[in-house]
Amino acid sequence: MNPTDLARKHLDDRLTRLRDAPGLARPSRGWVRAIRDALGMTTSQLARRLGVDQSRITKLERAEIEGSVTLRTLRQAAEGLGCTVVYSFVPTTSLEDMVRARADDIADRDLARVDHTMRLENQALTPRDLRQERERLVATLLSGNPRRLWDDP
């Protein structure tokens, strides 16, 4: 196993726990509002803790819901609420599956081009030959440098 494969497997193991964890989605009113409400803290009280105007907290909570809040602002709010911001990308499927799917797509695209040309020359491959060639192409793509999988759109 090469270092990239090992790193992908390790990261997959960590991210699977997040992907499968129930209740990690942002609350409908946002984390700042949810934590503030759970603590029984008003917007004015949080504003004083952060050294800003009360209207800034209202704008912050709206920006979080709209997805326009910055990480720095979230960190500041979290500190005022006695919390820590945890930032992560959680893939919808495993990284390994994403790499495999990409290799499959490239193999299908390349094989379709070759198959089309061979049909024009009346040298079409049998379905069995096409399956075997696809498997070979996918294996070659997966065994090489994974960076080349992402060169094309």
Q: pLDDT tens digit string along 49-72?
A: 999 999 999 999 999 999 999 999
Answer yes or no: is pLDDT of 74 > 90.
Answer: yes
What CA–CA distance (Å, rounded) separates 153 from 149?
10
Examine residue 35 and state whether it is found in any structural domain, yes or no.
Answer: yes
Confidence check: pLDDT of 120 > 80: no
pLDDT at 78: 97
- The pLDDT tens digits for 12-47 are 988 888 887 777 788 999 999 999 999 999 999 999
Q: Are residues 75 and 112 in the same domain?
A: no
Domain count, the chain: 2
pLDDT number for residue 118: 67
Q: How confident is the model at residue 119 (pLDDT cuts 50, 70, 90)?
A: low
Q: What is the C-alpha end-to-end distance of the chain, expressed in Å?
A: 27
We report the CATH number of the domain holding residue 63 as 1.10.260
Of 67, 139, 71, whose CA–CA distance to 106 is shortest?
A: 139
- Say if CB 106 and CB 149 are below 8 A apart: yes
Range of the domain at 112: 95-150
Q: Over pLDDT 90: what percentage of the chain?
A: 63
Which residue do the tokens 């609420």 mark?
Answer: 81
Domain assignment present for residue 107? The answer is yes
17, 97, 113, 120, 145 from 148: Cα distances, Å = 29, 16, 19, 29, 6
**Rounded distance between C-alpha atoms, residue 110 and residue 133, angstroms:** 11
The more confident residue out of 1 and 47 is 47
